[in-house]
Amino acid sequence: MERINTWYRRRFTSQLDLFVDKLSDLRGAVVKVSTFMYEPVIFLRRAENGTVVSRYGIDIEVVTAIARVLNITLEFKETPKGETWGEKLENGSWFGLMGQLQRNEVEIGLANLFVSSHWLEVLDLTAPYAHEITCFMTRVEPPLPHWQALAYPFHKWTWLAVLVGLIVSGPLLYLLAWCSSRCGGEIRSLQSLGFSCYYAFGLHFCEAHIDLPRKTSTQIFVTFLWLYTMILTIVYSTNLMSFLLVKKQPAMIETFKDLYESRLEVSSLGVMFRDGLAFASDPYLKSLTKVFKWYGDQTKIFPLLLQGKAVYLGNRKTLEFLLKNKFTRHGIPRVRIMKENYAPYSVAMALQRHSPLKRKLDELMGWIQQSGLVRQFFLNSLRQSASYERDDDGEDLGDDGGQRKLVEAEGVIPLSLDHMQGLFLITCTGWFLCFLSFIFEKTNAFGEKFKSIKAPILQS
């Protein structure tokens, strides 16, 4: 036992702090920090031999600021490749960042760690210093082929009505001309069903005929049919120009219901988001756990995402960074973020269970969040990342890039073969049908000639 103070006349004889704050100055003590590459919150620049040259990002800036205040020396230790945050094994142990904390190999773990009960079995979490929201990233579907632009000016029901009008107008003109001819005076060509259909077909394409009807009733019919077809072709041709110049995008996945019906794989870096889906109140979100698959390396997700086989589930800040820096070329994004999102999360640091650092770190996290430093850290890391980006001016622009340069230079969009592919498709289709008709006619002519030669031989 040791005497520390004396109680005399209802007070201590000397002012002695019995509970000294031993965490305000740790005197350069080494604190090991586990982390891994996770843009845009953690960037790692490496040399050619693989060693880390520099670390920066939101999480790195936060822990560095804490190290200055507490006077500690940080020693960073990366998780094994592909393990990221880690997951519980069958024997009860954990791997990855969680496993390093469980085995007391490090004192702090950070990598955009969401506050979730999923981790509390292994570690303690500090007070949050940032907030995030979970989103889905999907591929931007390629535009529909330009030859389909021929059908875009009208709705499907409008096309059906035009088809009915095309089929009905020929027989109606024939019946009207045939009935009028009973009274005499109507031209003979319109009394043929084939010619009447051909006549009405030509009017639908604004092709005038030399033969004009003579009877008043037939003339009125043809006049209004001509007026109808003229307005129809003008509306179609003017609307067609817009669809030829602007590529039409297919229907996009925008809601949880659309995503559920698409049956696409839901890919994620780490397993943590699976619990968020499993406990979601939305039935479509909850059903996505059946197609959920986690990966230890996000580069394995990117090919699936670009091929349209999967969607990427992650926090919005990371997805926006990937969209801008990895999936956008010459201002054209190849992926996008769905409109519907869910599950806001708070971001904190991970500590060993019952860590003595927690009380002091909670206090510092409150200061960092209230001061607005997290936003400043994020902007600084983006600027630093942009300064390391390579110049892409030498890359091939491709068809879209070359066309954009031409538009910028001349101010117009010339119609390329891609725009006019529907026209050439119609021409080739007509040539093919003409060839089949020619073969059919030749076959019939050969058959008739063979019969005419065979008959005299049989008679003889």
Instruction: Give residue 456's pLDDT.
Output: 60
Q: Look at residue 397 and tell me whether its pLDDT is greater than 50.
A: no
199 in a structural domain: yes
CA–CA distances in Å: residue 183 to residues 215, 366, 457: 10, 99, 50
Residue pLDDT, tens place only, 72-100: 999 999 988 888 888 888 888 888 888 99
Dihedral angle over CA of 435, 440, 441, 444, nearest 10: 160
Instruction: Give residue 447's pLDDT.
Output: 66
Asked if 102 and 335 touch (Cβ cutoff 8 Å), the reply is no
**Least confidently predicted of 13-17, 47-51, 280-284:** 13-17
Instruction: Give residue 350's pLDDT.
Output: 92
Please state the separation of Cα 389 from the chain's center in Å. Answer: 23
pLDDT band at 398 (very low <50, low <70, confident <90, very high): very low
403 in a structural domain: no
Comparison of pLDDT for 427 and 102, the residue scoring more: 102
220 in a structural domain: yes
Which amino acid belongs to residue 336?
R
Q: Calculate mean pLDDT across residues 277-283.
A: 86
Residue pLDDT, tens place only, 162-190: 888 888 888 888 887 777 766 666 677 77
185 in a structural domain: yes
345 strand-pairing partners: 132
Instruction: Give residue 460's pLDDT.
Output: 54
Residue pLDDT, tens place only, 120-135: 888 899 999 988 888 9
Count of structural domains within the chain: 1
31 in a structural domain: no
For the domain that residue 186 is a member of, what is the CATH number? 1.10.287
335 in a structural domain: no
Instruction: Give residue 423's pLDDT.
Output: 55
Domain extent for 206: 146-245
Count the neighbouring beta carbons within 10 Å of the beta carbon of residue 106. Answer: 21
Q: Look at residue 2 and tell me whether its pLDDT is greater than 70.
A: yes
Mean pLDDT of the chain: 80
Q: Look at residue 41 and tell me whether its pLDDT is greater than 80.
A: yes
List all residues 6 or more positions away from 11 whose beta carbon is below 8 Å from its beta carbon: none
Q: Look at residue 379 and tell me whether its pLDDT is greater than 80.
A: yes
Residue pLDDT, tens place only, 285-311: 889 999 999 888 888 999 999 998 999
Residue pLDDT, tens place only, 201-247: 888 877 767 777 777 777 788 788 888 888 888 888 877 777 766 76
Instruction: Give residue 330's pLDDT.
Output: 75
39 in a structural domain: no
417 in a structural domain: no
Dump the DSSP string for 404-456.
HHHHHHHSS----TTTTHHHHHHHHHHHHHHHHHHHHHHHHHHHHHHHHHHHH
pLDDT band at 406 (very low <50, low <70, confident <90, very high): very low
Q: Look at residue 429 and tell me whether its pLDDT is greater than 80.
A: no
Does the predicted TM-score (pTM) go above 0.75? no
Comparison of pLDDT for 366 and 441, the residue scoring more: 366
203: helix, coil or strand? helix
pLDDT band at 401 (very low <50, low <70, confident <90, very high): very low
Angle at 354 (CA atoms; ends 350, 360), nearest 5 degrees: 70
